[in-house]
Chains A and B, each alone.
Chain A
Amino acid sequence: MNKPRGPELGRDSLLPMRLWRHRLAEPMVLFSTIGLLMVLIIFSSAYFLVSREQDAIRQQIELSIGDIADTYEARVLRSLREIDATLKLVDFVASQQRSGVLDTLQERNLLPPELIFTVSIIDHQGAVKESTAPMQWAHPGGAFAALPQAPGLLVEAFASEGRQQLLFARMLTGDRDTPEWVTLTVGADYFVSGYDAGALGAQGLLALVDASNMTRIGRSGSQLYSSIAMALPAHDEILSRGDTPFLTNWLGVERTTVVRPLYLFPLSIVVGISVDERLAGAKQITRRYWQRAIVVSASALLILGLLARLSIQLQRERQLVTDERLRHTQYIEHLAFHDTLTHLPNRAYFSYLVNQAIQQQDGQENGFALLFLDLDHFKQINDSLGHDAGDQLLQVAAKRLVSTVREQDVVARLGGDEFVILLKDVTQCDQVTRVTDHLVAAMQSPFALAGESCEISVSIGVAMFPTDGGNEKTLMKCADMAMYQAKKAGKNGTRFYAVSALENL
């Protein structure tokens, strides 16, 4: 019965949205969202930096590989032209004299260093006529058959004493009975001796390939390769493609590769740089980026965590204060609308409730009854047993009244020994009589006060709405009058206003 504390506040239609916004502002939700966003931002920027670093490395590879290919191409071309010029020079001298051709040239220091190059003149039977090297020309039988039968440069590869050799040959021109050839052999590794580990790394690639993409000689680090096919685009395709580097995978290493066919020679140069090797060099940088991202996000989360803790503490304290204030307000409200002794609604609140009932009942059939109760002989008990006993009696009586009526009915104390009861949804007098009989009976059972048992009774006056009056004031007055009639009629009983009014007439 004590539930309604007072006039109700109007409901807020925007409440769900406010609740939602309130939820978002809650420290746990707010801080974990911010933390998640921060970590996301930190890691995505780290990812961005790492990928930018890697892109820069790839770009750098493409730039440097172009330079390396330019240099390599120029050196190979120069070497090949020097070799061809030597062959043509030998041809020229051979057309002037029959023998001692190489000696003549050597005297004038016109032959390439014998340390690297061997120049020979071969007759039509494959025998060495002259040579800068003393040993017999140990050339496999097949090569003699391969010597060109027409003017022009031949480039052949063969292995001798476990070393790959390149053979360059020209048929001697001039008037002679049987064909003769001038040959120049050079260790194939000569053409990859310019391998610079500083620029190409340990897994880079320098190679000379022929028109069918077979390696004449290749070098990666200090490893030499020869006669291994390379999966490169066809010759014509390379020519039409231009100079864009592309990725190749040769013998298990992926490389950014440039292929350049050589002008006027049936060879192409291949330059490759291992992408993985270069990226591995940058691994330290990328690892540092990730480490920094972890450290930064960890410290950010730590700070956020501390802030969140502080915020939660603050919120809890504020909640405590708010709760305290609310309790206080509720207490004040309760004081304003309730009787302090019995905790029943007081006159003001009862008056509000009656008016509310009148308003709600407006236009409807259902009425209500207003009961005015006055304890008989209360003054004697108060005087004989003391005020404390009187107060105790009032409290017990109030409890009995509340437990006798229904849940929806209102019991209030006006002051002294006067109580009022609002019986809702009653129209018939006999409905009321049933309740009042119970009330009278409840009061008749003895009270245990200050170690003594004492008995009292109650007089009740009833006014009905709307038959006896249309407003609170009239109804109260009617009920009061009916109660007075009940007292006059010998107490411990009930009188209806309508009946007592008839009696008065």
Chain B
Amino acid sequence: MAKRLSRWYCCVLLSLLSCTVYADLVVVVSAEAALSRIQRQELKDLYLESRNSLPGQARITPIDQSERSRERSEFYRRYIEKTPAQLRTHWARLIFTGRGQPPQALADSQAVVERLIRDPYALGYIDPDFLDERLKVVTVE
């Protein structure tokens, strides 16, 4: 019994590990950017509160992806912890009351990469397949 249980635990642990190791989403900035790590709360502030700066940092422009993209749903599920419906309600309220606009949404990871290498102040999330030397992965703490 104990043996079976421990094997089961191993399975769970392995699968969790694979999730983190083979993360199919990375938060990135231009290689020229100074930013290298970011708090999860700061990320939430950037993407939900239409902030364009962080304490102790220069201005940061968050870049979103299209509503239909896999990366976007993964990003909001994992880092921002909001469902699409919650997000809609949130932004409807902010846009209607004139307190903010959602981050600009680009079509796909490729578009995000192109935007980031042009703008050292922009921050985005992409599929790791699109990573190259012009970009820098930002660690989310």
Contact = CB atoms under 8 A, between A and B. Distances in A.
Interface of A: 75, 78-79, 109, 112-116, 134, 187, 189-191, 193-194
B87 interface: yes
Interface in B58-78: 66-68
A487 B66 CA distance: 156
B89 A115 contact: no
Contact of A193 (B68, B89, B101): B89
Interface in B73-112: 87-89, 91-93, 95-98, 101-102, 104-105
A116 B94 CA distance: 11
Contacts, number: 42
Contacts of A193: 89, 92-93, 96-97
B27 to A, nearest CB: 20
A190 B95 CA distance: 9
B93 A109 contact: no
Task: Tell me if A's interface is mostly helix, strand, loop or mixed.
Answer: loop
A109 B67 CA distance: 15
B67 A75 contact: no
Contacts of A187: 88, 92
Contacts of A109: 104
Contacts of A189: 92
A418 to B, nearest CB: 124
Contacts of B95: 79, 112-113, 116, 190
**Which of the listed residues A75, A78, A116, A193 has the most CB atoms from chain B within 10 Å of its own CB?**
A193
Contact of A116 (B66, B68, B92): B92
Contacts of B67: 114-115
30 contacts: A75-B96, A75-B97, A75-B98, A79-B95, A109-B104, A112-B95, A113-B91, A113-B95, A113-B102, A113-B105, A114-B66, A114-B105, A115-B67, A115-B87, A115-B88, A115-B91, A115-B102, A115-B105, A134-B68, A187-B88, A189-B92, A190-B92, A190-B95, A191-B96, A193-B89, A193-B93, A193-B96, A193-B97, A194-B96, A194-B97
Q: What 5 pairs across the A-B complex have the smallest Cβ distances?
A: A193-B92, A193-B93, A190-B92, A193-B96, A113-B102
Contact of A79 (B87, B91, B96): B96
A135 to B, nearest CB: 10
A380 B18 CA distance: 154
A480 to B, nearest CB: 128
Contacts of A78: 98
A80 to B, nearest CB: 11
Contacts of B89: 193
Contacts of A134: 68
A187 B102 CA distance: 16
Nearest to A186: B92
A157 B74 CA distance: 33
B52 to A, nearest CB: 14
B88 A116 contact: yes
Nearest to B89: A193
A134 B69 CA distance: 12
